Amino acid sequence: MQPKNVLPFAVLCTVPFILVLGNSMLIPVLPRVRSALHLTQAQTGLFITAFSIPAGLAIMFVGALSDRIGRKQVMAPSLVVYGAGGIMAALAALLVQRPYWLILAARVIQGVGAAGTGPIATAVAGDMFQSQERTRAVGILEASNGFGKVMSPVLGAGAALVAWWAPFLLFAVLAFPAAVGVWALCPEPVRRGRQQTSTRTYFADLCRVFREKGWSLAACYAAGAVVLLVLFGVLFYVSDVLEERYRIGGLMKGVMIAAPIFVMSATSLLAGLFLEKHGTLLKTATCVGLALVAASLGLLAVRSGLVWLGALTAVIGLGSGLVLPSLNTMVTSAASGRLRGMVTSVYGAVRFLGVAAGPPVFGLIMDSRRISVFVPPAVAAGACALFVLRALNQKFLTPPPGNR
C-alpha cells in the first residue's frame, strides 16, 4: 500500500466499523429494552428490522448516486444522518412517556443514513486499489466490519449500564467525527467521462453487466444475505438464551456474544491476506465457509449446553469470515469503476435485508423445537454453497479490462 493511501484508508475503515454498530450494539441490550418498554419478542426484533429494511431499500439509490456525483459526497452526509437518528432515539427515550414508535422512526432514519456508508466504502476501496491489493483491502474492510461486531456487544452492554437508551447516543458520538474524517481525507477518484456519461448510457451499461454476470452475482448476493441472516439470527437467539436460560447478563453477556464475531473478524483479516496471493481460491473459500455454517447449524439442532453453543457459534463465525471477504472481492471486481457503486450497493442491500430478516425470523421460531430452529437455515446455507459452486464461472472471476 502506498504511503499516501495509509491515512485515507484508515479513515475509510472506520466507516464499516461504525455501520455495523447500528444493529450489533443493540443485540445484548434488547432484553433490557423489551423490559423497559414492556414489549413482545416480535416488537423488540423490529428495532433491528426498522434499521435494516430502509437501508436495504435506499442503498441501491445511493449506490447509483455515488457513481454519478462522487463517493464521499454521499458517504459523509450519510454518516451525519446516521448519527442524527441515534440522537433522536435517545431524546425520545428521555422525553417521551411511550417512546416505542418514535424510536422505531429514528431507527428508520438511521437505516437510510446507513445505506450510504459501508457499501460505498467498499466501492471506494475498489477505486483506490487494483487486483491483488484490492483483495487485501476489502479483507481489511471486512475485518474492520467484524471488529465492529466484536466491540459492539461490549460497547452496547457497557453503555446500557448507564441507561438502556445510552447506546443510541453513542451512535452520534462515533459517527460525527467519522463524517468529518471522510470528507477531509478520503480520496475522490477522478474517472474520465463520469460527468459526460448520460444516465441512459449508465443504466444500459449496468444492465449489460447484470445480463452477462447475473447468475454469478445472484449467487454472491444470496450467499451474503444468508450468511448474515444466520449470523444475526443466531446472535439474537444467543442473547436471549444467555439471559433467560443461563442467567448471564451485563458485560459478561456482551463478551460471550462478541466471541464468535471475534473469530469471524480474525478469519476475515487472515483470509483477505491469504487470498490476496491466491485469488483463484475465492470460490473455494466461499463454498467451504458456507459448508461450515451449514454443518454448525445442523449440530446446534441436536446438541445442547453452553459449551456446544459457544463452540458451534464460533465455527459459524469462522465460516462467515471465509465467505464475506471472498464475496466482497468478487463483487467489487465484477464491474468497472464507474459502475462499481451500484453493483456493490445491490450486494449491500441484500446483506442488509439478510440482517433485517435474522432476528424476527429466529424470534418467531425460538419457542419451537431446536430442530425446527436450526435445520431450515442449515439447508439454506448448504443450498447457497451449491449455488455458488455451480454459478460462479471463470469469466466472472476474471476482472474486466481496466479493473485489475
3-state secondary structure the chain: CCHHHHHHHHHHHHHHHHHHHHHHCCHHHHHHHHHHHCCCHHHHHHHHHHHHHHHHHHHHHHHHHHHHHCCHHHHHHHHHHHHHHHHHHHHHHHHCCCCHHHHHHHHHHHHHHHCCCHHHHHHHHHHHCCHHHHHHHHHHHHHHHHHHHHHHHHHHHHHHCCCCCHHHHHHHHHHHHHHHHHHHHCCCCCCCCCCCCCHHHHHHHHHHHHHHHHHHHHHHHHHHHHHHHHHHHHHHHHHHHHHHCCCCCHHHHHHHHHHHHHHHHHHHHHHHHHHHHCHHHHHHHHHHHHHHHHHHHHHHCCCCCHHHHHHHHHHHHHHHHHHHHHHHHHHHCCCCHHHHHHHHHHHHHHHHHHHHHHHHHHHHHCCCCHHHHHHHHHHHHHHHHHHHHHHCCHHHHCCCCCCC
Question: For position 189, what pLDDT does the model report?
Answer: 64
Say how far apart CA 20 and CA 29 lie, in whole Å.
15
Q: What is the mean pLDDT of residues 73-95?
A: 94
Quick one: which of 204, 226, 326, 228 has its CA closest to 270?
326
**Percent over 70 (pLDDT), the chain:** 92
Say how far apart CA 34 and CA 30 lie, in whole Å.
6
**Percent over 90 (pLDDT), the chain:** 30
Quick one: which of 186, 180, 188 has its CA closest to 8?
186
Under the banding of pLDDT at 50, 70 and 90, the label for residue 330 is confident
Least confident of 85-99, 142-156, 208-222, 331-345: 331-345
Q: Which domains, and CATH codes, for the chain?
A: 7-397 (1.20.1250.20)
Quick one: which of 383, 232, 372 has its CA closest to 316?
232
Most confident of 8-17, 82-91, 331-340, 389-398: 82-91
Question: For position 173, what pLDDT does the model report?
Answer: 93
Under the banding of pLDDT at 50, 70 and 90, the label for residue 325 is confident
Quick one: which of 227, 243, 224 has its CA closest to 366?
243
Question: For position 197, what pLDDT does the model report?
Answer: 60
Under the banding of pLDDT at 50, 70 and 90, the label for residue 20 is confident
Q: What is the mean pLDDT of residues 83-87?
A: 95
Question: For position 194, what pLDDT does the model report?
Answer: 45
Q: What is the mean pLDDT of residues 263-278?
A: 81
Under the banding of pLDDT at 50, 70 and 90, the label for residue 191 is low
Residue 194 cell numbers, joined: 463520469
Question: For position 118, what pLDDT does the model report?
Answer: 75
Least confident of 200-214, 315-329, 386-400: 386-400
Residue 124 cell numbers, joined: 471506494
Say how far apart CA 276 and CA 369 lie, in whole Å.
43
Q: What is the pLDDT of residues 272-321, one digit of tens each?
A: 778 877 778 889 999 999 999 999 999 999 988 899 999 999 999 999 99
Which residues fall within 8 angstroms of residue 194, CB to CB, at 6 or more apart? 67, 68, 338
Q: What is the mean pLDDT of residues 30-58?
A: 84
Pick 223 or 48 by higher pLDDT: 223
Say how far apart CA 80 and CA 175 lie, in whole Å.
7
The model carries a pTM of 0.71
Say yes or no to pLDDT of 108 above 70.
Answer: yes
Q: HSE-up of 49 (CA within 13 Å, CB side)?
A: 14
Phi-psi region of 197 (alpha: psi -120 to 50; beta: other; left: phi over 0): beta
Say yes or no to pLDDT of 399 above 70.
Answer: no
Pick 74 or 272 by higher pLDDT: 74
Say yes or no to pLDDT of 355 above 80.
Answer: no
pLDDT, averaged across the chain = 84
Say yes or no to pLDDT of 345 above 50.
Answer: yes
Question: For position 319, what pLDDT does the model report?
Answer: 96
